[in-house]
Every structure is written in structure tokens, then in C-alpha cells.
Structure 1
Amino acid sequence: MDPRLKVILYGNPDEELSLLMRLEKEKEYPDHCKIVSEFGNIVSIRTRRRFLCSIYNSKKVKSLKAPTVIPANDGIELNSETQILDKKNEVLSDTVSKAVFGIIDFGFDFTHPDFINNGKTRFEKIWVQSGRYDGNEFGYGRIINQAQINEALADEFPFKKLGYHPGKSDLFGNGTHGTHVLGIACGNGAVAPKSFAPNASIIAVDMGTNYVNGSNLSLGDSVKGCDGLYFIVKEAIERPLVINMSLGGHGDAHMGVTLFEQVIDYILTTRKGTAIVQSTGNYHQANAHTYGDIKQNQKIKIPWMFKKHDRTPNEMEIWYHGDDVLSVNIYDDDQKVLLSSTPFKDELIIKGGEEVGICLHRCKEPNTGKNQINILINGKLNSKFWTIELVGKSVKNGRYHCYIERDDGGQSIFLPAIANKTHTTNSICNSKYSIVVGAYNQTDSDKAILSFSSSGPTADGRMKPELVAPGFKIKSSCSSSSRENRASNKLTSKSGSSMAAPYVASLVMKILEKEPDLDIISIRKKLFKACDTASFKENNLEIFRAGHGYVNPDKLV
């Protein structure tokens, strides 16, 4: 059973759970499931906790997964600057793009001039997933339509009128992630630099926000993400569509076969004129990944370091070949044994007579065929570091990958001496057909790839990211802060692969405006052909962060 599924196994039997499910055969469902979103043989469902085990054990089910958190790939703050223009540029256009732009993120300022043409909103709909339920088909959140937004724009207090403030958690006026990303992708030039898709209609999914340690973080999850994709595709009807997702964490197998990633590939291979663009992540220097090869009876020690006074949960995932058998020993900072595990047995981690975590061990996860160990630590850690010792009980292959999940409230790391910078793409960007973008410094004559921009390849050896785009101190639309009633002519600068992805998404919009029936393979070929090749004489590993090279809009537009 999926480790996260085990965590939610016990509780109120009548509580409704949201899950992702992969069916053995399309349209053949187990009992006690409400189907919400459907992508071939992968569906998002709602069910009562009392039915969880019977659904999991059903012969109709190939894989059942609990929701996994999908944070935003937040911009890296490099002396972030905000700027208010004296006046906005006049944008008067009756032209509407043939292609529609979809975005899954958080914090969309519909009052910002960059998303208003002739006094009317360019948003067709905004699904606020964390909003009060309005009776929609998904069972949660609130879907706001174009007429409601236009009515709010005419009001003195538009956020209050609509009941949606995109910057409610932005206490410092740095601007929300979603508004900044959206301005890069399809800003009309009123305030931010004009994008390549200034006339595109927008369908947005706001996954929700939370104020944590001075940062705005998306608290959406894989189920809500799939529902969001379903919503955007449905609302786009038959129009050409580009979706941007600057989202993702550290974990999972990095093989492109999570159910979320399989949904991405299903959409892209069954719908013409469609592209999904994703950021590669900002995790190249995160010290959150290590890998290696273990031999029969060998013991490999992996130091796991924690922040001082960390009270947040921590998680490590270990993925290794399905033909191998490993066990785990865990030692605290005094080298006392906290756990000496038995392969494929779930066991509590005890320190000082108190339960501080759990080690979950799964044989042959159905989507990857790999064995999976999850070490989950609660907030009662009180340690500087642990040592995770892998023991090769039965080894035929030997390769293993370890990932520490993202934790913005208290990120733990591997000892830097053993951390690896390759295979650090984010957790949901490794599918076969999505377009994944890294970031470079466009102000540097050498076009240096930014130090934090994540590196491929995927764990199964494929190229990700596939290209790089500008990502250094990108000026774009700045949303209203929590204290403001309407957006001003405000810009903010952010850096990261989150800023590079929408630049590429904007270019893909140009491709589909001219050739709306292209399939994803043709879209990718056109885009990659328009890249300037990258070469790195001093560090050959950089090619794993550059892919086909630097996107060149002059070769496309």
C-alpha cells in the first residue's frame, strides 16, 4: 500500500477522502467510489474511509494513491524589488487569441491592468479551490465566472465584492506567485513587459495559499491538481490550449509515472493543439538528493541533518530496484539505534521511549516496479542529525535514489559532501510529453544557468529540463497586498524556473495561434528547433540542466 495511504488509513470511518486511482480497465470501477475527474484509466475519486481497504484490494484497481502536497516552485528572492509606474500604458484591443491560456497556481489579481482589456477582464473563469463551496461538480471551492469579475471591477471594492482577495496572505507586498507568473505568460503590456500572448483568454485554478515563515506557499495537492487540469481542459472546449504549472516538490521516484504525471501525458496525447509547460524546480543546490550503488551485504551510511529547533515534520523517500531487498538502520546523533528494520515491514521509530516517526517499506510500487521506503518524522525530533544506514540484504541491481521532501518551515538536508545535484527536477515534471523549463541569467553575457535551477536527468535517464529560458530578476505584474483594495501599476521582480516556464508557455501560445491542430510531438519539435545550443567546456554536467539549450524567440516569432 502507498505509504501516504497508510497514514490516512485510520480515523473517522465516515470521513470523505479524496484519492487518485489507476484502473485495470477503463470505465470499470470498484464499488463505493464517486468519480470526479477522469483521464482514461486514471480517475480522481471521493469515498468514505470505511471503504478504503476494499477499494485498494479490488481486482479492478491497479494503483490507489493518497493526495501528495504540491507546493509552488517559489521564486528565489535575490534582493526583490517592487516598482510602481507613474501611469499604465493604454491597451486597446478587440482581438482575442484563438488559443486559451490555462494556469494552476495561486493568487490571481484580476484587478491588475495587465489582465484587463478595454475595461473588461481577460479571465474567463477562476476556480478558487480553497474558497467556500458553491455547489460545483467537484465538491469543493468556488468557481467565479467572467460576468462576476467584470461586475466586481466596476465596484469601489472589487475584492470584497467578489469575495476573493488574491493577496490575502501577502503581508509584505512582494506579490503573489500566480500573478507574477501570469504576467510573464500573457500580460498585455499595460504595466509589465508585453508577453507573446497579450490577447489570450485566461482560465485559472487557484490552489490555495498559506502564510508560512514569511513566504506564500501553495497548499494544493495531486488530487486537486488533477481536478484543476480536468476543469481547464473542459472549459477550453475544443480551442488550442497551453497550461502552465510552476509547481512541484522534491519527492517521488522521478520516473514520470506518478498518477499526476500520467494524467499530464494522457491529456497531451489525446488532445490536439495542447501543451503543458512546467518549471524544472529550484533544487539544484538544495542538498535534498543523493544516490549510489549498494552491494550484497554492504552497509552505506547517509547522514540526515536537521535545522536547529526544527519542529516541523520531515520525510525521506528511498527508491530502489524491485529485484533488490534492502533494510534500514536508523541512528540518532549519539549513535544510539532508533530502528533496526525488517524488509517490507512497517515499524515505529522510538527515541527515549517516545514515538518520533515511522518507517514504511513497500515492495514493487505498481507504477514504477521499484521498492519504496518512506521515513516520516513528526515534530518531536529534537536532534541535529540522524544516520540512515542502508543494508544490502539481497542485491542484483544495487542502484538507489534518496530524496528529502520539501519543507519550507524547516528544510532538512543530506550532508553536503554526499548530496548529488543531478536528478533534482521537481516531483511532478518528469512525464514524457510535458515541456520542462530551467532558468538562466539573461543579463549575463555567458548566459549562465542560474545556480539553483534544477538538474536532470530523470531517474530512468530521460532529458529534463528540455530547454532553458530567462529567469533572473524578471519584472512582471505585482498583485495587491492584503492591505490594498485594488492593484496599482505595480511591478515586482522574482527569479527562478517558475519565471522561465511561463516565458516558454507564451511562445508556445504563438505556435498554436498559427497552427492550432499541432500534436504535442510537433509542438515540441518546433520549440526545441528554436533553441540555441548550449555548450559547457568546464562542466559537462551542466548539460543536464540545459537540455536542447536556450530558447530563441526570434527563431519562432
Structure 2
Amino acid sequence: MINISLGTYGGPHDGTSLVEQGIDGLVMEQTNRAVVIAAGNAFDDRIHASGTITEGSFTDLHWEVFEGDTTNNEVEIWYSGEDEFRIELLNRDHQSIFNIGVGEKADSPGFFAAHTKGSNGDHQAMIFSGSGLAGVWIVRIHGVKAAHGTFHAWIERDDNRNLHKFNQSRFQSPVDNTCTLGSICCGQKSIVVGSYNGKDPSLPISYFSSAGPTRDGRQKPEISAPGHFIIAACSRTINEPKIDSGTSMAAPVVTGVIALMLAEAVKYDLKLSIDEIRRLLFSTTKRNPPAEQGWNNQYGNGRVNAVAA
């Protein structure tokens, strides 16, 4: 059992990154193996936007960088390899800073951008900003060819804290809270965990818990667990506890449940494939909440049920 409680926001979000392919390969290589990943805490961070562009039209993303942000920032835009877009950056006065097509780069004061084809065959545009560039920047996406026309954009995670104030840059508009899973959460065989508040009798999903689906429409996260106000050992001390919230606190709960499942499997000389582990875990989840039948884009297939699993 491996628990991964970390993550970033960029990437293709379709399971094709090398890390995700590596995780899939490891858990499929042998039985009695599983990797659990925290879904991310980006639901209310305004880091994702999506839309559809027709040929000859454009759409604007308003990217806000806060005063006092002393770090670099990045926006990534992903769209089908069958489409062709141009990516333009404008300042608040609607003056163009650069306008690049596929295969082109731009290096202007305060910004660097590249527009390439990713290893998955889709197009990827990256815009990097230097520090101290507070304001609202307009990322304009032009449709040159639009067989599909759909795009997704993410702002990369920024954990900088200045005077204890969180300065993550964000989209002012448009904002789409779906598809806010972490960069390595979209593999085929990993088990991705959302967080709910187990301290509240109504067991609501945590306000921060990232939502699916993946960019290619698959159902992740798969399951949820308590991740709100969790008391755990503080690793940098000898004997102090820590109270924290996040999907990074929820994922270890599921990791522990699967570890107990595998201990039972070894006891009875059973060899569970990753598909069997996933089926046992997801078929025993608790519902209500979530109230609706089937998969929920934050709860997943439901809340983990340790005893039943």
C-alpha cells in the first residue's frame, strides 16, 4: 500500500502523464498492490476554467494575480490535437502582449509562453509570469480550427504565503469547479479520495474537496473519507499531535482500510488484483450522503466503509 498526499494542478488530466502511467503499471504488475492519492483541495480556489470555441471566434479568461504575490505563476491550457487555437495575452488596457500559435513561443518582459503538442497528442499552451505582476490579465483563446472546440485551463498551484496571507492567483471569470483534481489523480488504476466533514452530523463534503471528472470524462475521485479537523501525529515533533483538514488527511484513511483488506488476503492466501481491490472498496461504500444514486463528482462512489470492506 502506498499513500500519496501531494499534488499540483497542471497537466493533461487524462491519465497520460508518465507518473500516472507508472503508477498504473506498478499496481497491475503484481497482485495485492494499490496506490491511493489525495484528490486535492482546489474546489473553491478558482483555478479551473473550461469552454467551447467555434472557428473564427474567441473567448477570454480573466486571470487575477494578487498584490504582494512574490512568486511566479502559470496558466496551462489543454485542448484536442485535432483543433488549432491561438493563445493571446492582453493587459488590463486590452493591449496585446503576445499572440502565439502551435509550435511558437513568446518571451516578453515579465512573461514567457510556449504552445506545443503534448505527448498525448493534444495541444498544450503554457503561460509563465514573473513575480510582482499584480493585476487582471486577459488570456484570449482564438479558434482557428475547431473540430471539437473544447478547452480546459488550470492555474498551477502556488503555496506562497506572504504575511500569512494566501496569494494563489485565480480566474475571475469564467470559473468551473469541476475537473479540479490534482495533476497525478487521473490514472486508470489509482484510487483517488475526496474529503467529507465527519465532525458534522450531516457529513457534508468538505468545501475544499476537489471535484471530477477527469478531462477525458472518467469518474474520479472514486471514494471519500473523513478529512476535516483530523487529529494526527505531527511528523516534525516527538510527541505532539496536529489538527488539520484536507484530502491529504482523508486519503490515509482509505489507505489504512485497503491495508487491512490486504492483511486479510494474505492471511487466507488470496491474491487480489487492483481491479478486485477497487471493486471490493467501491461496492461497500456508504450513501446518503451522497443522496443521488451512482457516482458523485466529489464523494465518488460514496463514503468509505471500513467494516464492510
Normalising by structure 2, we get a TM-score of 0.92
- RCO comparison, higher one (Cα < 8 Å, 6+): 2
Question: Are the counterparts in 2 of residues 321 and 370 from structure 1 also a CA contact under 8 Å?
Answer: yes
> Larger helix proportion, structure 1 or 2?
1
Q: Does 2:67 correspond to 1:313? A: no
What is the aligned-residue RMSD (CA, Å)? Answer: 1.8
Distance 1:280 1:534, change over 3 A: farther
Q: Is the 8 A contact 1:264 1:434 kept in 2?
A: yes
Answer yes or no: is the 8 Å Cα contact 2:295–2:302 preserved in 1: no
Larger Rg: 1
Q: What whole-Å deviation, never above 9, does each CA across 1:497-527 have from its counterpart, x for those lacking one?
A: 1011001100101110111321111111111
Distance in 1, Cα, partners of 2:124 & 2:288:
36
Q: Distance in 1 between matches of 2:248 and 2:293?
A: 24
Count matched residues: 299
The aligned amino acid for 2:287 is T
Q: CA offsets, 1:133-176, max 9 Å, x none?
A: xxxxxxxxxxxxxxxxxxxxxxxxxxxxxxxxxxxxxxxxxxxx
Superposed CA offset, 1:206-265 (max 9, x none): xxxxxxxxxxxxxxxxxxxxxxxxxxxxxxxxxxxx000001011101101100000000
Q: Look up the equivalent residue of 1:323 and give its one-letter code.
A: E
Unaligned runs of 5+ in 1: 1-241, 350-354, 482-486
Q: Does 1:289 align with 2:48?
A: yes
Where do residues 367-516 of structure 1 align in structure 2 (5 Å cutoff)? 368-379=120-131, 381-409=132-160, 410-415=167-172, 417-481=173-237, 487-488=238-239, 490-516=240-266
Q: Report the Cα distance in structure 1 between the residues aligned to 2:206 and 2:95, rounded to whole angstroms.
A: 41
Q: Of residues 279, 295, 312 in structure 1, which corresponds to 2:38?
A: 279
Contact kept in structure 1, 2:57 and 2:143, CA below 8 Å: yes
3-state SS of paired residue (2:6): coil
The residue number in structure 1 matching 2:299 is 546
Helix, strand or coil at the partner of 1:554: coil
Whether 2:93 is the aligned partner of 1:334: answer: yes
Q: d(CA) in 1 for partners of 2:72 and 2:52?
A: 28
Equivalent residue number for residue 344 of structure 1: 103
Q: Which residue of 2 aligns with 1:102?
A: none
Q: 1:346·1:359 contact (CA, 8 Å) conserved in 2? A: yes
State how far apart, in whole Å, the 1-side matches of 2:280 and 2:294 are. Answer: 25
| CA displacement at 1:347 relative to structure 2 | 1.5
Using the alignment, how far apart are the partners of 2:264 and 2:293 within structure 1? 37
Deviation of the 1:311 alpha carbon: 2.5
- Any gaps of 5 or more consecutive residues in structure 2? 161-166
In 2, the alpha carbon distance for the partners of 1:515 and 1:274 equals: 11
**Which AA in structure 1 matches 2:248?**
S
Distance in 2 (alpha carbons) for counterparts of 1:267 and 1:342: 37
Whether the 8 Å CA contact 2:12–2:78 is kept in 1: the answer is: yes
Q: 1:333 Cα shift?
A: 1.9
Q: Per-residue displacement from partner, 1:395-447 (whole Å, max 9, x unpaired)?
A: 111000000000111421000x4111100010011111111110101122221
1:518 to 1:508, Cα distance in 2 relative to 1, 3 A = same
CA shift in 2, pair 1:540/1:519, >3 Å: closer
Corresponding residue of 1:5: none
Q: What pairs up with 1:210-359 in 2 under 5 angstroms?
A: 242-349=1-108, 355-359=109-113
Q: Percent identity?
A: 33
How far apart, in 2, do the equivalents of 1:467 and 1:290 lie?
A: 24
Deviations 1:166-213, CA, capped at 9 Å, x for gaps: xxxxxxxxxxxxxxxxxxxxxxxxxxxxxxxxxxxxxxxxxxxxxxxx
User: Which secondary structure state, in structure 2, belongs to the residue aligned with residue 543 of structure 1?
Assistant: coil
| Aligned equivalent of 1:209 | none
Q: CA deviation at 1:297?
A: 0.5
Contact 1:328 1:390 in 2 (8 A): yes
Are the aligned partners of 2:20 and 2:185 in contact in 1 as well (CA < 8 Å)?
yes
For the Cα contact (< 8 Å) 1:309–1:382, is it kept in 2? no
Aligned residue for 2:277, secondary structure, equals helix
**Superposed counterparts of 1:74-153, under 5 Å:** none
